[in-house]
């Protein structure tokens, strides 16, 4: 069995938290794992948000027992979560599963360019709180006979598809970042020369990057440009 040796207990705890949040939205969630060297990328797609979530995990060493130096496999998020040992900072890679369609189409590895116009993290968090409150208010105002799934979905699409300023990033991407633990208040104390939260683009993709993970989303109206199938 392939065993991942994570950099420390904190990395193991963060991985477990990310998997738990994905499972909250989909008990049958799958994740695609890609690792090379001491970097592991964990891709997931919470269905409520229609975005791709990416959690980067630092590894102490690639694998044990001289196994291949690269890894690319789709597995059950629940089985992976069960294998995480936070004290030992390890995780065993479960058996591969037949991946959902999204697992075959990932954002490109390179070519990312910074995009301007993204508000500060505290403004983004306030934006999410405001639209969540708006959704609740509009749905509560519906007469009982109009409170159908179709009407709730229509209101949701109207609210969550709005762009963040002039960036083209849908609000649902910011909501996903906060719900998955990527948009934390602690990010405002980020000391790197890079901004704590930044927006990048590559082809048809936009990527909201924070110190705790990224949210990638396809931009509307750009067809199949920038698709990376691997």
Q: What is the pLDDT of residues 66-121, one digit of tens each?
A: 455 678 999 999 999 999 999 999 999 999 999 899 999 899 988 999 999 999 99
The pLDDT score that the predictor gives to residue 71 is 87
End-to-end CA distance of the chain: 24
What is the distance between the alpha carbons of residues 38 and 172, in angstroms, rounded to a whole number? 31
Please give the DSSP secondary-structure letter assigned to residue 85.
B
Q: Return the domain boundaries, the chain.
A: 3-106, 113-229
Q: What is the chain's percent helix, strand, coil content, to nearest 5?
A: 35, 30, 40
Segment 24-44 shows an average pLDDT of 93
Residues 6+ apart with CB under 8 A from 105: 227, 228, 229
Residue 109: the pLDDT is 87
CATH number 3.40.50 given to 3-106: no
pTM, two decimals, is 0.86
DSSP string, 158-227: HHHT-BSTTS--BHHHHHHHHHTT-S-GGGGG--SSS-SSEEEEETTEEEEEETTEEEEEEPTT-TTTT-
pLDDT tens per residue, range 46-61: 998 889 999 999 999 8
């Amino acid at each position: 069995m392939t065993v991942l040796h994570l950099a420390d207990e904190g990395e193991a705890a963060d991985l477990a938290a990310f998997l738990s949040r994905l499972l909250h939205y989909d008990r049958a969630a799958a994740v695609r794992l890609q690792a090379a060297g001491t970097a592991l990328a964990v891709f997931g797609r919470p269905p409520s948000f229609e975005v791709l979530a990416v959690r980067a995990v630092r590894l102490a060493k690639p694998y044990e027992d001289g196994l291949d130096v690269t890894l690319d496999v789709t597995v059950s998020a629940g089985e992976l979560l069960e294998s995480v040992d936070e004290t030992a900072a390890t995780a065993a890679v479960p058996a591969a599963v037949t991946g959902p369609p999204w697992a075959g189409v990932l954002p490109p590895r390179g070519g990312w360019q910074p995009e301007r116009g993204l508000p500060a993290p505290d403004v983004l968090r306030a934006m999410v709180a405001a639209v969540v409150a708006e959704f609740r208010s509009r749905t509560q105002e519906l007469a009982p006979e109009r409170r159908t799934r179709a009407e709730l979905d229509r209101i949701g699409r109207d609210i969550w598809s709005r762009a963040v300023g002039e960036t083209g990033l849908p609000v649902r991407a910011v909501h996903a970042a906060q719900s998955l633990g990527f948009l934390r208040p602690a990010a405002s104390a980020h000391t790197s020369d890079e901004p704590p939260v930044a927006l990048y683009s590559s082809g048809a993709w936009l990527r909201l990057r924070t110190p705790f993970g990224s949210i990638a989303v396809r931009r509307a109206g750009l067809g199949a440009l920038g698709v990376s199938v691997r």
